[in-house]
Structure formats: structure tokens, C-alpha cells
């Protein structure tokens, strides 16, 4: 399956979320959505990324944008991660990896010559009409949340 790209309708999803309940992309139609995929709760890069997005949540709220982080971690792990780092962004749990695959971010990776499947750190900016406006692949965390905010402000 080809990864969705700029101009495509973002694949819909309905997944369990931190704190209980579900997160559905279609329920957010009409406002911008920042959907960022990250490998694992409570690891250094993922923690920094979540803290940066949380620190800018008020700015995202002012422009009417919703920020969702997604990983293959469980809701229980998401809840612990949020509490430990005082995070305020929404976290979706894709334990079956169906959404990760639909967005083309569940990929073969390599570390020290060992190949394995994992999440490629990627962010999608989705417009109010549900179309993908911008994609950041192989994200470098420092300053990324601020860059995404600037792109979202331009909508």
C-alpha cells in the first residue's frame, strides 16, 4: 500500500486514546489536525517531541488545530507517559499497527546491521477538508513542533 501524500484524503481511523474513549479523524473534520507518529513512549526523542508539542498546545488551540500523537503503545502506557511528563496532547494507541501501515510509517529499519519493523517518525498536517497539506518524514525532533505550528498557522 502506497503511503498517502500531499493532496490525498488522510486515511480515517478510530482508535483507543489516553484516558479512555476513542479518537476518530473524521470527528475532527472542519479543523486542522496535526498527526504525529512516534516510535515508543518514554524514550528520549519521543519524550522530547511530546513535550515540545505539549508546550505549544495553547498556540495550536488558538488556531483551532488538534494535535494527536500516535504509536503502537497501549493506552495504559500512554496514560503513564502523559502523567510522568505532564503532557497535554492527545495520544492514540495503534497496537494492531493498522493506521501506522495505512500512513506508510510502519517500516523496516536497521540498527547495527539488525533489521526490524518500527515506526518512522513522521508528521502529517491535515487540513479542515481532510486532505493532507504537508508531510514531514524522518523527523528530527528539536524545533519540529514549532515548524509544524508555523505551517498550521498558514492555513
DSSP string, 75-89: HHHHHHHHHHHT--S
Average pLDDT of every residue of the chain: 96
Given pLDDT bands bounded at 50, 70 and 90, which one contains residue 1? low
Q: Which positions are catalytic?
A: 46
For residue 136, is pLDDT > 80? yes
**β-strand pairing of 90-93 with 106-111:** unpaired
Q: How many percent of the chain have pLDDT more than 90?
A: 95
Q: Report pLDDT digits (tens) over 77-87.
A: 999 999 999 99
Higher pLDDT, 111 or 54: 54
Q: What pLDDT, on the 0 to 100 scale, is given for residue 104?
A: 97
* CA nearest neighbour of 35 among 84, 102, 86: 102
Given pLDDT bands bounded at 50, 70 and 90, which one contains residue 111? confident
State the Cα–Cα distance between residues 117 and 104, nearest whole angstrom.
12
For residue 72, is pLDDT > 90? yes
Q: Domains of the chain, with CATH numbers?
A: 33-153 (3.40.30.10)
Cα–Cα separations (whole angstroms), residue 57 to 1, 34, 43, 90, 102: 33, 11, 21, 10, 26
For residues 91-109, give the mean pLDDT.
97
> Residue 148 corresponds to which cell in the numbers above?
509544524
pTM for this structure?
Answer: 0.95
Q: Report pLDDT digits (tens) over 29-53.
A: 999 999 999 999 999 999 999 999 9
Which ranges of the chain would DSSP assign to H, the alpha helix?
44-55, 57-62, 75-85, 98-102, 144-153
Amino acid at each position: 500500500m502506497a503511503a498517502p501524500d500531499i493532496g490525498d484524503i488522510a486515511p480515517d481511523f478510530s482508535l483507543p486514546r489516553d484516558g479512555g474513549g476513542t479518537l476518530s479523524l473524521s470527528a475532527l473534520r472542519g479543523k486542522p489536525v496535526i498527526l504525529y507518529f512516534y516510535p515508543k513512549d518514554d524514550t528520549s526523542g519521543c519524550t522530547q517531541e511530546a513535550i515540545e508539542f505539549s508546550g505549544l498546545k495553547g498556540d495550536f488551540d488558538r488556531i483551532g488545530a488538534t494535535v494527536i500523537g500516535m504509536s503502537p503503545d497501549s493506552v495504559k502506557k500512554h496514560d503513564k507517559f502523559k502523567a510522568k511528563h505532564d503532557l497535554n496532547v492527545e495520544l492514540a494507541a495503534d497496537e494492531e499497527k493498522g493506521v501506522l501501515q495505512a500512513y506508510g510509517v510502519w517500516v523496516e529499519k536497521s540498527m547495527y546491521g539488525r533489521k526490524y519493523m518500527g515506526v518512522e517518525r513522521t508528521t502529517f498536517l491535515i487540513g479542515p477538508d481532510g486532505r493532507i497539506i504537508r508531510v514531514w518524514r524522518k523527523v528530527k525532533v528539536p524545533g519540529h513542533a514549532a515548524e509544524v505550528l508555523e505551517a498550521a498557522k498558514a492555513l
